[in-house]
Amino acid sequence: MAMPTKLYTLCSLVLAFLFPFSNSVQLDEGKLCLPEKHASLFIFGDSLYDPGNNNYINTTTGLQANFGPYGETFFKYPTGRFSDGRLVSDFIAEYAKLPLITPYLHPGYHSYIDGANFASAGAGALVETLQGYVIDLKTQLGFFKNLASLFRKKLGDAETKTFLGRSVYLINIGSNDYATNSSLLQSISQQEFVDMVIGNLTTVIKEIYKEGGRKFGFVSVPPLGCVPFARALKPGNTGACFEELTALAELHNAAFPKVLQKLERRLNGFRYSFADVYTSFSESINNPSKYGFKEGKIACCGSGPYRGIQSCGGKRSVKEYELCENASDHIFFDNAHLSERANQQLAKLMWSGTSNITAPYNLKALFEL
């Protein structure tokens, strides 16, 4: 029976991934075929987006969150997400009417038609950042390239191009480079450090573009020095932010939008969303009650000043930890990561933020393009 080619090839892709050993599955238009305008979501980055890829690599418990109380609010079990519940990327998938995007490394899951999530807690744009313990951005790109060539085999070049061109690429990277490798500043300047990180990120964007990616979503680097672990580094526990760290974030946020504007001019069809979470984040940690939180400095889970010691769950070197009553009261869930409620607010800014925060497109507009 003849079917429109487009529909047929997308159906066969779904079938091939769902039933890799079966050639005799009947195509069922109603159940398995995708609407023509299906836009998938491919996710790259660090713990802000990692749904549990680090559960499947050889790393340290410091870079894993596969134990309670992580996950307690929404999932009711630890998934590997560094939060009490869903991450920003989970909310974006939800708003885009996609299912939660499974970790790429999850064994036995091979249906990539809604996209894939390559993010790894601790990852940086520089290969050396926490090297050996994370899936760095370059390796994440390698995974994506493998997937793209699989798509080309199943769908053909033209169909893959359309499919990847409709998809949205969410990327968040940089915080770990700046937060874990300040020793680099003994040999290079702050600006050179930032240029290295952005240079690597730019290379990865261009490579995704080469594979067919056109719609990209980015966020600025948050005020890193105001995260509980960084506040706790400040002598005297005055509550002050660790400004040296925030300075790197500011330099990054000044330079990266210029790079994006340049890419938009040079790469035909390149469209992007850049959400200034630095500004909105600074606002909310300074005025938590305005955003429905009771606490903007102290984490929900951890120990020491601001619960800035990474002990949440008691599975790392420090075994004792405190846990707040209601994670939704806190902006930070642990010493370096947001509560589900804060993640949701961030996701909303990225999805439907007005143009003074999220520009030139918000993610909703990008998905609809």
Ligand X SMILES: *[C@@H]1O[C@H](CO)[C@@H](O)[C@H](O)[C@H]1NC(C)=O
Element (H, E) at 21: none
203, 244, 267, 282: which one contacts ligand X (CB under 6 A)?
203
What CA–CA distance (Å, rounded) separates 260 from 75?
36
Q: How far is the CB of 20 from ligand X (least distance, A)?
A: 26
- Which pair of tokens denotes residue 247? 């300075």
Q: What are the residue numbers of the active site?
A: 47, 334, 337
Stretch of residues binding ligand X (CB under 6 A), selected from 23-31, 208-216, 235-243, 324-332: 324-332
Residue 326 in contact with ligand X, rule: CB under 6 A = yes
CA distances from 244 to 179, 223, 228, 258, 309 (A): 10, 10, 15, 23, 19
Whether residue 71 contacts residue 84, with contact meaning beta carbons closer than 8 Å, is answered with yes
Stretch of residues binding ligand X (CB under 6 A), selected from 79-87, 115-123, 321-329, 358-366: 321-329
Residue 130 in contact with ligand X, rule: CB under 6 A = yes
Stretch of residues binding ligand X (CB under 6 A), selected from 77-85, 148-156, 226-234, 323-331: 323-331
61, 111, 180, 190: which one contacts ligand X (CB under 6 A)?
180
Q: Which is nearer to ligand X, 8 or 74 (CB)?
A: 74
Identify the burial level of 162 via C-beta atoms within 10 angstroms of its C-beta, where 0-12 means exposed, 13-18 middle and 19 or more buried: middle
Q: Which is nearer to ligand X, 6 or 145 (CB)?
A: 145
58, 186, 238, 268: which one contacts ligand X (CB under 6 A)?
58
What CA–CA distance (Å, rounded) separates 37 from 291?
35
Stretch of residues binding ligand X (CB under 6 A), selected from 38-46, 64-72, 77-85, 124-132: 124-132
Binding residues with ligand X: total (CB under 6 A): 21
Residue 138 in contact with ligand X, rule: CB under 6 A = yes
Q: How far is the CB of 327 from ligand X (least distance, A)?
A: 8
| Phi and psi, residue 353, nearest 5° | -60, 150
Residue 279 in contact with ligand X, rule: CB under 6 A = yes
What CA–CA distance (Å, rounded) separates 291 from 288?
5
Stretch of residues binding ligand X (CB under 6 A), selected from 114-122, 177-185, 225-233, 300-308: 177-185
Angle between helices 277-286 and 340-352 (to 10 degrees): 140
List the alpha helices (DSSP H) in the chain: 5-18, 29-32, 88-95, 137-155, 157-166, 175-180, 190-211, 228-231, 243-266, 277-286, 340-352, 363-368
Evaluated on CA atoms 279, 285, 287, 290, the torsion sign reads: positive
Q: Which of 248, 47, 225, 219 is nearest to 133 (CA)?
A: 47
Q: Which is nearer to ligand X, 184 or 251 (CB)?
A: 184
Residue 184 in contact with ligand X, rule: CB under 6 A = yes
Residue 328 in contact with ligand X, rule: CB under 6 A = yes
Tell me which DSSP letter residue 207 carries.
H
Identify the burial level of 139 via C-beta atoms within 10 angstroms of its C-beta, where 0-12 means exposed, 13-18 middle and 19 or more buried: middle
Q: How far is the CB of 4 from ligand X (least distance, A)?
A: 39
What CA–CA distance (Å, rounded) separates 217 from 212?
15
Q: How far is the CB of 291 from ligand X (least distance, A)?
A: 11
Q: Which is nearer to ligand X, 153 or 294 (CB)?
A: 294
Q: How far is the CB of 35 from ligand X (least distance, A)?
A: 32
Q: Which is nearer to ligand X, 130 or 241 (CB)?
A: 130
What CA–CA distance (Å, rounded) separates 145 from 277?
29
Q: Which is nearer to ligand X, 162 or 203 (CB)?
A: 203
Residue 331 in contact with ligand X, rule: CB under 6 A = no
Identify the burial level of 341 via C-beta atoms within 10 angstroms of its C-beta, where 0-12 means exposed, 13-18 middle and 19 or more buried: buried
Binding site for ligand X (CB under 6 A): 58, 126-130, 137-138, 180-181, 184, 200, 203-204, 279, 326, 328-329, 354, 356-357
